[in-house]
Amino acid sequence: MTKIFMTRPLPDSVQAAAADLFDLTVRPQTSPLTVEEMRTALSDYDGVVPTLGDMFSSEIFVAEPAWRCQILANFGVGYNHIDVDAATASGLTVTNTPGAVTDATADTAMTLMLMSARRAGEGERLLRAGHWEGWHPTQLLGMHLGGKTVGIVGMGRIGQAIARRCHFGFGMHVAYHSRSAKTLDFPATQMDSLLHLAAAVDVLVVAVPGGDATHHLINAQVLSVMQSHAHLINIARGNVVEESALIAALSAGDIGGAGLDVYEFEPVVPEALKAMENVVLLPHIGTAALEVREDMGMMTVTNLKAFFTGEIPPNKV
Using CA atoms, how far apart are residues 47 and 60, in angstroms rounded to an integer? 16
Candidates 37, 157, 284, 294; catalytic one: 284
Query: Under a CB-based contact definition with an 8 Å cutoff, are residues 166 and 112 in contact?
Result: no
**Among 168, 173, 207, residue whose Cα is nearest residue 190:** 173
The amino acid occupying position 139 is Q
**Which of the 8 DSSP states describes residue 59?**
H
Q: Half-sphere exposure (CA, 13 Å, Cβ side) for 59? A: 5
Query: Under a CB-based contact definition with an 8 Å cutoff, are residues 317 and 79 in contact?
Result: yes
**Residue 136 known to be catalytic:** no
**Residue 284 known to be catalytic:** yes
The distance from CA 118 to its chain's CA centroid, rounded to whole angstroms, is: 23
Give residues with Cβ within 8 angstroms of 136, minimum separation 6: none
Using CA atoms, how far apart are residues 217 and 56, in angstroms rounded to an integer? 23
Candidates 216, 229, 266, 294; catalytic one: 266
User: How far, CA to CA in Å, does 109 sit from each of 4, 41, 62, 106, 148?
Assistant: 34, 34, 38, 5, 16
Candidates 8, 231, 237, 293; catalytic one: 237
The amino acid occupying position 105 is T
**Residue 291 known to be catalytic:** no
Give residues with Cβ within 8 angstroms of 271, minimum separation 6: none
Query: Under a CB-based contact definition with an 8 Å cutoff, are residues 297 and 11 in contact?
Result: yes
The catalytic site residues sit at: 237, 266, 284
